[in-house]
Chains A and B, each alone.
Chain A
Amino acid sequence: EPEVTQTPSHQVTQMGQEVILRCVPISNHLYFYWYRQILGQKVEFLVSFYNNEISEKSEIFDDQFSVERPDGSNFTLKIRSTKLEDSAMYFCASSPGQGAYGYTFGSGTRLTVV
């Protein structure tokens, strides 16, 4: 069964450093998302991406965050200057359409900012 692949599974970074979280969505999916989950709590929306541009972003997704789909397969989330409160599990997800489609989530990247 097709899956969404995320790398790395765990990343530890110093506060203030830049991190790039990588995702390979399912190849025939059109919509891509980043969500985060702090310590097994609520899943929070960060950004959605369609047709090579951001279609929606949350208030969490400030100027420190950016997304890119550089080569038609990878979908990356960059945090320019990490803060302690950025520590969370980051999930990439994709779906074939906007409607009656559940997301296929990746297995997540656990980001720890120290």
Chain B
Amino acid sequence: AQKITQTQPGMFVQEKEAVTLDCTYDTSDQSYGLFWYKQPSSGEMIFLIYQGSYDEQNATEGRYSLNFQKARKSANLVISASQLGDSAMYFCAMRGLAPRTNAGKSTFGDGTTLTVKP
């Protein structure tokens, strides 16, 4: 079974500052992927960044980086230089990787609502 925990229901950050959104996970899978998605108030879900459990380097995508600490089972999202448009709900998710037969299913956390203040 997989479990994702996001302990911050809401976060505030000042525009142009960096913010870290926490995510811890639990899984019995040896090989897994960790994902972050953004859900603005308009409702769509947008894939942001991926980290594989065997990746030695932390993933980065533009202003997004993933602080992956495997021993602690954490995969925190860092957003640098926050912008007003970053205000949204952020979901951490994971799934087991092939050759698992259920590799397609992702488990999502409860989400963190980020508000960027001008």
Minimum CB–CB distance from B114 to chain A (whole Å) comes to: 14
Chain B contacts of A91 at CB under 8 A? Answer: 45
Chain A contacts of B68 at CB under 8 A? Answer: none
Main secondary structure of the interface of A (DSSP, over half): strand
A108 to B96, CA, bound (A): 25
Chain A contacts of B45 at CB under 8 A? Answer: 43, 91, 93, 103, 105, 108
A102 to B, closest residue via Cβ: B47
Minimum CB–CB distance from B110 to chain A (whole Å) comes to: 5
Task: Tally chain B residues at the interface, Cβ within 8 Å.
Answer: 28
B20-28, B69-77, B100-108: which lies at the A interface?
B100-108
0/1 string, A61-102, CB within 8 A of B gives 1 = 000000000000000000000000000010101010011111
Tell me which of B44, B46, B93, B101 has the highest count of chain A C-beta atoms within 10 A of its own C-beta. Answer: B44
Chain A contacts of B109 at CB under 8 A? Answer: 42
Interface residues of A (CB under 8 A from B): 31, 33, 40-45, 48, 50, 55-56, 58, 89, 91, 93, 95, 98-108, 110
Can you list 13 residue pairs at the A/B interface with Cβ under 8 Å? A42-B110, A45-B105, A55-B102, A95-B104, A99-B52, A99-B103, A102-B37, A102-B47, A103-B37, A105-B44, A107-B43, A108-B44, A108-B45
